[in-house]
């Protein structure tokens, strides 16, 4: 069963609840519940402005004007423009974190890596890579990228590899963090450098290469059985 990027849905749902009438634990909070259409208008306006002018020129004032809302409406949802820009870029990308459970962990990883590569090849992927580049000079962007994209993605993928260990499809002594780096880092490098298309042949080759080191040898698998 696919996880369907529950991290992002939960993040946005929790954010919405925190702007509603009751916080977790039953503490009342002033203010009206969020209007999903307003939130989407803000995200759309932000993404359009990022495409037009880039992150450095992005301002909350410009977003508010484009979305037709007041600045307080934006600040109730996002603490700063880095968090807003990251969410605007990632809006609708929940499927990028989806993992099917086919019974074969290598196949699960293969399918998901294709989704990530497809996302990175599109408009939002290009915006994400541009935003990531800005993170070198902006710790807030780097932190938002890690919190909203990288860490949730790695948690989901690590869970799949741990499932593989339980099923004896992955070596129990495998370095899972190194494996995740080997699977995902080439995608970002290829997108930044532009030296390789992020096509199925590329992603499948990455998975095959990494799983050569992850898959138990026949003798070990026999000993574990």
Does domain 94-224 fall into CATH 3.20.20.70?
Answer: no
pLDDT value for 30: 46
Classify burial at 165, counting beta carbons within 10 Å of its beta carbon; exposed 0-12, middle 13-18, buried 19 or more. middle
Separation CA 46–CA 85 (nearest Å): 6
> Cα 216 to the chain's mean position, in Å?
29
For domain 6-90, give the fold.
Arc Repressor Mutant, subunit A (1.10.10)
pLDDT value for 208: 97
pTM of the shown model = 0.73
The CATH 1.10.357.10 portion of the chain extends over 94-224
The one-digit pLDDT tens for each residue of the chain (225 residues) are 444 344 344 444 444 444 432 223 333 334 444 688 999 999 999 999 998 988 889 999 999 999 999 999 999 999 988 889 988 988 766 656 678 899 999 999 999 999 999 988 988 888 888 787 776 677 878 887 888 788 888 999 999 999 999 999 999 999 999 999 999 999 989 998 888 899 999 999 999 999 999 999 865 544 545
pLDDT value for 24: 30
pLDDT value for 26: 33
The CATH 1.10.10.60 portion of the chain extends over 6-90
């Amino acid at each position: 069963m696919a996880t369907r990027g529950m991290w992002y849905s939960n993040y946005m749902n929790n954010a919405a609840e925190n702007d509603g009438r009751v916080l977790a634990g039953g503490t009342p909070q002033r203010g009206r519940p969020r209007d999903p259409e307003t939130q989407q208008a803000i995200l759309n306006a932000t993404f359009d402005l990022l495409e037009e002018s880039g992150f450095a020129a992005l301002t909350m004032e410009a977003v508010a004007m484009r979305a037709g809302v007041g600045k307080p409406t934006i600040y109730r949802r996002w603490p700063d423009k880095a968090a807003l820009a990251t969410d605007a870029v990632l809006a609708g990308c929940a499927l990028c974190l989806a993992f099917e459970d086919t019974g074969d962990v290598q196949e699960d990883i293969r399918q998901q890596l294709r989704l990530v590569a497809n996302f990175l090849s599109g408009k939002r992927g290009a915006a994400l890579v541009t935003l990531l580049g800005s993170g070198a000079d902006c710790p807030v962007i780097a932190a938002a990228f890690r919190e909203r994209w990288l860490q949730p993605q790695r948690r989901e993928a690590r869970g799949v590899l741990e499932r593989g260990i339980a099923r004896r499809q992955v070596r129990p002594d495998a370095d899972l963090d190194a494996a995740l780096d080997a699977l995902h880092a080439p995608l970002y490098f290829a997108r930044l450098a532009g030296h390789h298309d992020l096509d199925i042949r590329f992603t499948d080759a990455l998975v095959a290469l990494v799983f050569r080191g992850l898959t138990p040898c026949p003798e070990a698998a026999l000993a574990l059985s």
